[in-house]
C-alpha cells in the first residue's frame, strides 16, 4: 500500500498565465502552441470591446455587452477583470474550473495588471512573462500591427515600461525575439513539461 | 541605462544534480544527454573503489587511493563526500567552480545521501530525483545489471526504499521508465531549459 504512494507521480494540471505588454506576441504564441497540437485548454477572455476585423466571438474573445459583463463581475463569475484602455476584460471562472477538473492544463492570455490579480487570487497559477528583447523591438511591432493612433501607441509604450517592473511577480520570463516564435514556443512547452515534474506541484483551487 | 537592466535576461549557469537509487539509470541518462550534444559540463566524481570492467579513470570516475581521497576531503577540496557501501565518493569542488565560471551548466550524478548534502551546502543547486516507475522495475534492473551478490542486491533495494523518502528535498522528480530513456532525457532537458527562464535564477556560489 505504502509503496503505491511512494511511486505515484501523476502530473497535476496547471493554470498557465501568459502575460506581457501589448504587442509582445501573446496571441501569436498561443496560436503557435495550438498549431503544435499541445493539449492545452485555451481560455477565452470576455470583453466588452468591439471585435477587430477577423476576430471571432467564442474563439478570440467572448464579445459581451457592457451590462452583461458587469453582471458576471457582480455575480463573482470572473477570475480576474480589469479595465484596459477604457474596455472591460475578464476571465470566466467556470471554464477554467471545468478544464482543470478534466485534467487538462489551462492556458490563458492576460495583460500584466490581470496577471498580478490572478497571482493574488490563485497563488498556485504559473505565471509567464513574455517580453520583447528591447523596447525598440516592441515599439516596432506595435507600429507594424497598426490600428493605434500615435497617442495610443505612445500610451502603450509608457504602459509597457511600467509593466516590465512587475516582472518579479512572475515565475518565468520568456524573450519572444523577432522571427523566433518557434523558440519562444519551445521555451513555454519546456516550462510546462518541467512543471509537470515538480516535486511540489502547483495544485490550483478555484 | 535603466532600460538595459529591464531587458537583460542572460541565463545563469546551473548546478544540476541528478540523483536517485542505485540502478535507476543515472549514468545512462547522463550518457544520453552527452550524445544529444547538450552543452553540459559533466562532473567526474572521485572514488576509492576499484574500477568496474570498462570504466575509465578521468571519464567515469577519478579512481584515487584512499589516502589521496582523504587528503582532498581534509583540505576541503570536496563539494560532498560520503561512504557508500564501504567506499568513498566525492565531488572535487574546483572542477565545478571552473565550469560554472565559464558560463556552462554543470551536471553531476550523486547518490541520494550526497544530493541532500549538496542541498545543504549549495541551496541554489537544482536537484532532480530520478526514479523507476515501481520498486519491481528497479529490482529487475539491478538484477540485469549484475555484479551484486544476493545480499548486496537486497541491501540496495532496502536503501532505495529509504531513499524514496528523501524526495521532498528535491526540486523535480523524473520517472525513468523501462525503454523510455529518450523521454527521460527530454524531461531533464526541459527542466534545464525552463530553469534558464526563471525570473529568480538559481545563482550558485561555491
Position A1 pLDDT exceeds 50:
no
Structural domain range at position A181: 12-195
Domain with residue B111: its CATH number is 3.40.50.300
Dump pLDDT digits (tens) for A164-178.
Answer: 999 999 999 999 999
Is B93 part of any domain?
yes
The grid coordinates listed for A193 are 513539461
- ipTM score of complex: 0.88
To the nearest whole Å, the CA of B197 is away from the closest chain A CA by 5
Dump pLDDT digits (tens) for B116-147.
Answer: 989 998 999 999 999 999 989 999 988 888 88
Is A206 part of any domain?
no
Picking from A25, A15, A11, A13, the residue whose alpha carbon sits closest to that of residue A174 is A25
To the nearest whole Å, the CA of B72 is away from the closest chain A CA by 34
Active site residue B145: yes
> What's residue B3's pLDDT?
42
Is A78 part of any domain?
yes
> What's residue A147's pLDDT?
81
Is A201 part of any domain?
no
Q: How confident is the model at residue A2 (pLDDT cuts 50, 70, 90)?
A: very low
> What's residue A5's pLDDT?
63
Is A205 part of any domain?
no
Rank A35-39, B21-25, B167-171 by mean pLDDT and report only the highest: B167-171
Q: Which residue has the cell 571552473?
A: B98
Alpha-carbon span B193 to A146, nearest angstrom: 34
Query: Does the pTM of the predicted model rise above 0.95?
Result: no
CA angle B137, B141, B147 (to 5 degrees): 150
Is B2 part of any domain?
no
Is A168 part of any domain?
yes
Position A94 pLDDT exceeds 90:
no
Partner B contacted by A164 (CB < 8 A): yes
Q: Which residues of B touch A173 (CB under 8 A)?
A: 9, 197-199
Partner A contacted by B121 (CB < 8 A): no
To the nearest whole Å, the CA of A22 is away from the closest chain B CA by 16
Is B202 part of any domain?
no
User: Which of A9, A191, A199 is closest, CB to CB, to B194?
Assistant: A191
Q: How confident is the model at residue B205 (pLDDT cuts 50, 70, 90)?
A: confident
Partner A contacted by B3 (CB < 8 A): yes
Overall number of domains in chain B: 1
**DSSP one-letter string for B23-89:** TSSHHHHHHHHHHTT--EEEPPEEE-SPPPTT--BTTTEEE--HHHHHHHHHTT-EEEEEEETTEEE
The grid coordinates listed for B15 are 548546478
Amino acid at each position: 500500500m505504502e509503496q503505491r504512494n511512494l511511486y505515484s507521480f501523476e502530473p497535476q494540471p496547471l493554470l498557465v498565465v501568459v502575460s506581457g505588454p501589448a504587442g509582445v506576441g501573446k496571441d501569436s504564441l498561443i496560436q503557435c502552441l495550438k498549431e503544435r497540437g499541445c493539449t492545452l485548454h485555451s481560455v477565452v477572455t470576455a470583453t466588452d470591446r468591439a471585435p477587430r476585423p477577423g476576430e471571432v466571438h467564442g474563439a478570440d474573445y467572448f464579445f459581451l455587452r457592457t451590462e452583461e459583463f458587469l453582471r458576471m463581475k457582480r455575480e463573482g463569475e470572473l477570475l480576474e477583470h480589469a479595465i484596459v484602455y477604457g474596455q472591460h476584460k475578464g476571465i470566466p471562472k467556470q471554464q477554467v474550473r471545468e478544464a482543470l477538473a478534466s485534467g487538462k492544463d489551462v492556458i490563458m492570455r492576460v495583460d500584466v495588471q490581470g496577471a498580478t490579480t490572478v497571482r493574488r487570487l490563485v497563488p498556485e497559477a504559473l505565471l509567464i512573462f513574455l517580453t520583447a528583447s528591447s523596447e525598440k523591438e516592441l515599439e516596432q511591432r506595435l507600429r507594424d500591427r497598426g490600428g493605434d493612433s500615435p497617442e495610443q501607441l505612445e500610451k502603450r509604450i509608457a504602459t509597457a515600461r511600467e509593466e516590465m517592473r512587475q516582472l518579479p511577480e512572475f515565475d518565468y520570463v520568456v524573450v519572444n525575439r523577432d522571427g523566433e516564435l518557434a523558440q519562444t514556443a519551445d521555451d513555454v512547452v519546456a516550462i510546462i513539461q518541467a512543471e509537470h515534474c515538480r516535486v511540489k506541484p502547483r495544485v490550483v483551487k478555484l
